Structure 1
């Protein structure tokens, strides 16, 4: 009986922690990092005491939300590297990274600015660049990736994707998907005229 209760309590604690992180990621993306902790607790449907038990400071909560984002990014690259078809893996990585960044909506940049010493950013960058270089190497082995493509081209793509402005989060994601499709065609040795995702409405029409 005691073992069952302990297991249940641990399960409840894990659920609460995940709810807090889910709520925090959402609110940080939509409302910025200045959202009060009590508001995050309300969104997660837990009491403030429960929130502070898991995350005693806001910096710890933001850092964990950011770490989850980095895990998602790394998982995308790892899945691409594990794909038995390196070209397909390369393309899927491009698509998923662009969409992840579009949904991020500046959270990563805001975190790095607000908490520059919270995480070893140099180690994250080194790991990311190493994975990207291996992804490019394997894709070139298929003969479908242009031989002059280098890691800096992927960085340039990410920077451009980060600059997409749209009226709604859905439109931003849609624009990112179209941009990723255009980039994949640009990376190919012999681009295939595949259908592109639809064009989203990015900015309001100018008054006539």
Structure 2
């Protein structure tokens, strides 16, 4: 089946497909380096296409972000569903932290897109909100089971992902290995333990619509 765009029913020509692929590749690279607020003209320059060509494929940045990270958002959705399905909420919570860090370490541009708010990108925002709400529910269950520290807040997950995206290594494989160690350290910090010092407050990372597990 041919790829279609702009609501048209006919498939894109091979040169248009090549342009689209270069634009998406360039967008992921630019978002990884400069965040999702990088100018569209820089993405066009990186892709080697005219700005008009970029806008013909992606009239808005929201559409570009959604298309660039569709696969990652699907993977994120599957990860939180897997965590929720685990009968042991702490094990499910740990699985989500481990796999989310691994996913974000493989594509650092996705972290910038996931943390940012794109209210006009309805599908992307809906999937992001679903993931955050599911993590909040899993955290609540782990708290009720006495395994997750009681002062955990949902913003802590975004804080971990933001820190995870800052890992610099000599190769992608080394970055993934370092990310797994970082995830293990984060999980240890999240686990409830007698006499643990209370955490300082953290606010303003998740949207107000997200559900917080705090009680």
Pairwise TM-score range, normalised by the shorter structure: 0.5 to 0.7
Confirm or deny: 8 A CA contact 1:73 1:97 kept in the other structure: yes
Q: Secondary structure, in 3 states, of the residue corresponding to 1:145?
A: coil
C-alpha deviation, 1:116, in angstroms: 5.0
- Deviation (angstroms), 1:158: 1.8
Is residue 80 from structure 1 mapped to residue 65 from structure 2 by the alignment? no
Q: Sort the Cα spacing of 1:94 and 1:183 in 2 relative to 1 into closer, same or farther, 3 A.
A: same
CA 155–23 in structure 1, closer or farther in 2 if over 3 Å, else same: closer
Separation of aligned partners in 1, 2:66 and 2:188? 36
Check if 1:167 corresponds to 2:170: yes
SS of residue in 2 equivalent to 1:165: coil
Partner residue in 2 for 1:145: 147
TM-score (norm 1): 0.58
Task: Give TM-score, length-normalised by structure 2.
Answer: 0.56
Matches within 5 A, 1:44-123: 63-109=66-112, 119-120=121-122, 122-123=125-126
Which is helix-richer, 1 or 2? 1
Deviations 1:81-109 (A, max 9, x none): 00122221111111000011111122452
The SS at the match of 2:69 is: helix
Unmatched tracts of structure 1, length 5 or more: 1-6, 8-15, 41-53, 192-208
SS at match of 1:171: helix
Query: Whole-Å Cα distance in 1 between the matches of residues 137 and 180 of structure 2?
Result: 23
Partner of 2:159: 156
- In terms of Rg, which structure is larger? 1
C-alpha distance in 2, partners of 1:179/1:151? 19
Is the partner of 1:151 in helix, strand or coil? coil
Cα distance in structure 1, aligned partners of 2:188 and 2:120: 38
Distance 1:110 1:126 in 2: 13
| Contiguous gaps of at least 5 residues in structure 2 | 2-16, 48-56, 195-215
Output the CA distance in 1 between the equivalents of 2:102 and 2:170.
16
Structure 1 residues 31 and 125: CA distance shift in structure 2, 3 A? closer
What does the per-residue CA deviation read over 1:19-52, in whole Å, with 9 as the maximum and x for residues that have no partner? 99x9789877889999989x99xxxxxxxxxxxx
Q: What is the root-mean-square deviation of aligned Cα atoms in Å? A: 4.5
Tell me, in whole angstroms, the C-alpha distance in 1 between the residues paired with 2:77 and 2:112.
Answer: 17
Q: What residue is the counterpart of 2:50 in the other structure?
A: none
